[in-house]
């Protein structure tokens, strides 16, 4: 319907030009020159027509819609105006008018074909630019939406933009060489290997971006660690070609998306969304300081508020066990006895369970690790309530300050390599 209306109006407009050729002949101009002047006048009128249509379409589509968008409560139309989506859509109308009017205005087959191809290329270009602008606008819209603000939406819309540019490029080529789109796609099979090689990074980014988005592996704002690329910080931007990470020293590291899929990386989002942040740290005890507890040692340990009930209950259990099995308690190897390191572990367990900054709803454990040539490791495994890095480090330091200081109270020694002041040098004696 619209096409017929445009054709009718163009025919009426250019019908005026039909008599120009004969008029020029009557004035004594040669047929060749008259033909060229006729084509030039027709082209001029055609360009004037297209220019006027472009002005009108831009005014109606861009200006009017932009004015209306200011008075609406919706945000999406303002963002579409900001990214000039309607402006690019408005350019489609003069392109269509140009395409339909060229066969009517011009008589030369050469110029008709040339202008038709130019009009189609212009329309395809306007559509691609409109799609690209729309993807940018949609990215901003979804980034401001609560449900999608932290998700890599930008990757999805960048993929759409890349597909649009790819289809547009094939369309340009099909218009120029006058081959149908389907035929051109079918004939590109032989050149696909070269295209894959040229666009390797783009294809890898496409696949990786889709995986990151569909599997929710990465979001904007996530704290990630990628040792291979020296990245340790918050994700600022997730795009088709790169993941921008602001490190904690305020440097910027860019990581290819396919590297996050092919290689391992650490995402701390689970920790941030959980009830606490894990602390897993050990102290090494000198094994030569480990011994059975004497009654005097137990009496001293009972004065520690965390241990009184534990020692009494444990001693009662051990006494009953030894009596039932009739062990000779005069020999230390017989029966069961408490050790200073066992009481120490019990103290640390009670201390963590009562600490106000420890999340008591998550695992809290004090365990003994495999002995080494350095000694025996006592590992503290627990979660803090605070997840902020600075406060987390403060809580961790406070707890281990206490643990290090309390070790001698249990007649234990912390192992460390001797310093130069602790080494006694003996003079050489021949």
CATH of the domain at 224: 2.30.30.60
Give the domain extent around 125: 2-148
pLDDT given for residue 20 in this prediction = 60
Specify if 398 maps to a domain.
yes
Give the separation between CA 430 and CA 414, rounded to whole angstroms.
37
Strands, E assignment, 248-402: 252-255, 266-267, 277-285, 365-368, 376-384
pLDDT given for residue 289 in this prediction = 93
> Are 62 and 12 part of one and the same domain?
yes
Lowest model confidence (mean pLDDT) among 115-124, 336-345, 404-413 = 115-124
pLDDT given for residue 285 in this prediction = 94
Asked if 150 and 221 touch (Cβ cutoff 8 Å), the reply is: yes
Asked if 70 and 78 touch (Cβ cutoff 8 Å), the reply is: yes
Q: Does position 364 have pLDDT exceeding 90, yes or no? A: yes
Last residue of a domain, one of 273, 291, 312: 273
> Are 126 and 6 part of one and the same domain?
yes
Give the separation between CA 50 and CA 47, rounded to whole angstroms.
5
Give the separation between CA 380 and CA 350, rounded to whole angstroms.
12
- Percent of the chain whose pLDDT exceeds 70: 77
Which residue do the tokens 């006895």 mark?
337
Which residue do the tokens 């200081």 mark?
405
- Rounded to a whole number of angstroms, the CA Rg of the chain reads 40
Q: Does position 2 have pLDDT exceeding 60, yes or no? A: no
> Are 283 and 388 part of one and the same domain?
yes
> Three-state SS for 253?
strand
> Which among 15-29, 69-83, 312-326 has the top mean pLDDT?
312-326
Give the separation between CA 241 and CA 263, rounded to whole angstroms.
16
> Are 291 and 259 part of one and the same domain?
no
Specify if 59 maps to a domain.
yes
Specify if 49 maps to a domain.
yes
Calculate the CA dihedral of residues 252, 254, 259, 260 and round it to 10 degrees. Answer: 50
Stronger pLDDT, 148 or 309, i.e. the higher one: 309
> Are 283 and 402 part of one and the same domain?
yes
Q: Does position 264 have pLDDT exceeding 70, yes or no? A: yes
Specify if 330 maps to a domain.
no
The total number of structural domains in the chain stands at 3
Which residue do the tokens 């050729």 mark?
21
pLDDT given for residue 19 in this prediction = 54
> Which among 178-182, 332-336, 347-351, 385-389 has the top mean pLDDT?
347-351
Terminal C-alpha separation, the chain? 117
> Are 42 and 112 part of one and the same domain?
yes
> Are 287 and 365 part of one and the same domain?
yes
Asked if 275 and 222 touch (Cβ cutoff 8 Å), the reply is: no
For the segment 308-327, the average pLDDT, to the nearest whole number, is: 89
Give the separation between CA 286 and CA 288, rounded to whole angstroms.
6
> Are 226 and 215 part of one and the same domain?
yes
Tokens representing residue 231 in the block? 């990245």
pLDDT given for residue 113 in this prediction = 83
Specify if 166 maps to a domain.
no
DSSP 67-104: HHHHTSS-SHHHHHHHTTHHHHHHTHHHHHHHHHHHHH
Last residue of a domain, one of 252, 273, 294: 273
How many helices and strands in the chain, by DSSP H and E? 18, 8
> Are 253 and 283 part of one and the same domain?
no
Mean pLDDT of the residues in the chain? 80
Residues 6+ apart with CB under 8 A from 116: 99, 102, 103
Cα 183 to Cα 45, 116, 171, 177, 188: the distances in Å are: 36, 20, 11, 12, 9
Q: What angle do CA 202, 208, 209 make, to 5 degrees?
A: 85
Give the separation between CA 65 and CA 22, rounded to whole angstroms.
46
Calculate the CA dihedral of residues 392, 397, 399, 400 and round it to 10 degrees. Answer: 140
Give the separation between CA 364 and CA 352, rounded to whole angstroms.
7
CB atoms within 10 A of CB 167: 16
Confidence of residue 192 (pLDDT cuts 50, 70, 90): low
Give the separation between CA 220 and CA 267, rounded to whole angstroms.
12
Per-residue pLDDT tens digits for 374-417: 999 999 999 998 888 889 999 999 999 999 999 999 999 998 88
DSSP 307-349: THHHHHHHHHHHHHHHHHTT--TTSTTSS---BHHHHHHHHHH
Give the separation between CA 193 and CA 118, rounded to whole angstroms.
30
> Are 294 and 258 part of one and the same domain?
no
> Are 294 and 245 part of one and the same domain?
no
Specify if 142 maps to a domain.
yes
Specify if 415 maps to a domain.
no
Task: Classify residue 203 by its DSSP letter.
Answer: H
Residues written for the chain: 430
> Are 269 and 285 part of one and the same domain?
no
Specify if 317 maps to a domain.
yes
Residues 6+ apart with CB under 8 A from 350: 306, 307, 310
Q: Does position 147 have pLDDT exceeding 80, yes or no? A: no
Asked if 130 and 88 touch (Cβ cutoff 8 Å), the reply is: yes
């Amino acid at each position: 319907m619209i096409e017929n209306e445009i054709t009718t109006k163009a025919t009426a407009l250019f019908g005026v030009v039909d008599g120009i050729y004969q008029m020029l002949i009557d004035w004594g101009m040669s047929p060749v020159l008259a033909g060229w002047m006729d084509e030039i006048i027709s082209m001029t009128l055609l360009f004037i027509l297209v220019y006027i249509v472009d002005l009108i379409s831009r005014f109606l589509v861009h200006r009017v819609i932009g004015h209306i968008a200011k008075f609406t409560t919706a945000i999406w139309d303002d963002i579409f105006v900001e990214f000039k989506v309607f402006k690019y859509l408005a350019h489609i109308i003069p392109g269509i008018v140009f395409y339909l009017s060229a066969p009517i205005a011009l008589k030369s087959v050469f110029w008709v074909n040339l202008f038709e191809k130019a009009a189609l290329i212009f329309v395809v270009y306007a559509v691609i630019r409109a799609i690209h602008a729309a993807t940018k606008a949609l990215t901003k819209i979804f980034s401001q939406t609560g449900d999608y603000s932290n998700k890599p939406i930008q990757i999805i819309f960048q993929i759409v933009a890349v597909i649009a540019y790819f289809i547009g490029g094939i369309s340009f080529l099909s218009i120029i060489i006058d081959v149908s789109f389907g035929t051109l796609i079918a004939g590109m099979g032989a050149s696909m290997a070269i295209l894959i090689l040229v666009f390797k990074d783009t294809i890898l980014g496409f696949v990786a971006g889709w995986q990151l988005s569909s599997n929710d592996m990465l979001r904007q704002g996530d704290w990630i660690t990628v040792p291979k690329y020296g990245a340790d910080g918050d994700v600022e931007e997730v795009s088709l070609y790169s993941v921008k990470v602001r490190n904690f020293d305020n440097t910027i590291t860019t990581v290819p998306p396919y590297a996050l899929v092919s290689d391992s990386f650490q995402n701390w989002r689970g920790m941030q969304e959980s009830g606490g942040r894990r602390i897993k740290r050990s102290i090494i005890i000198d094994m030569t300081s480990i011994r059975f507890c004497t009654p005097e040692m137990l009496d001293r340990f009972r004065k520690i508020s965390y241990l009184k009930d534990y020692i009494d209950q444990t001693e009662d259990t051990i006494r009953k066990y030894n009596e039932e099995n009739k062990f000779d308690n005069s020999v230390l190897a017989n029966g069961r006895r408490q050790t200073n390191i066992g009481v120490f572990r019990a103290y640390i367990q009670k201390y963590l369970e009562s600490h106000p900054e420890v999340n008591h709803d998550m695992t809290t454990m004090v365990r003994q690790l495999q002995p080494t040539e350095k000694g025996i490791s006592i590992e503290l495994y627990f979660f803090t309530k605070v997840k902020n890095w600075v406060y987390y480090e403060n809580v961790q330091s406070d707890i281990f300050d206490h643990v290090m200081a309390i070790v001698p109270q249990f007649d234990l020694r912390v192992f460390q390599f001797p310093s130069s002041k602790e080494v006694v040098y003996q003079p050489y004696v021949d």
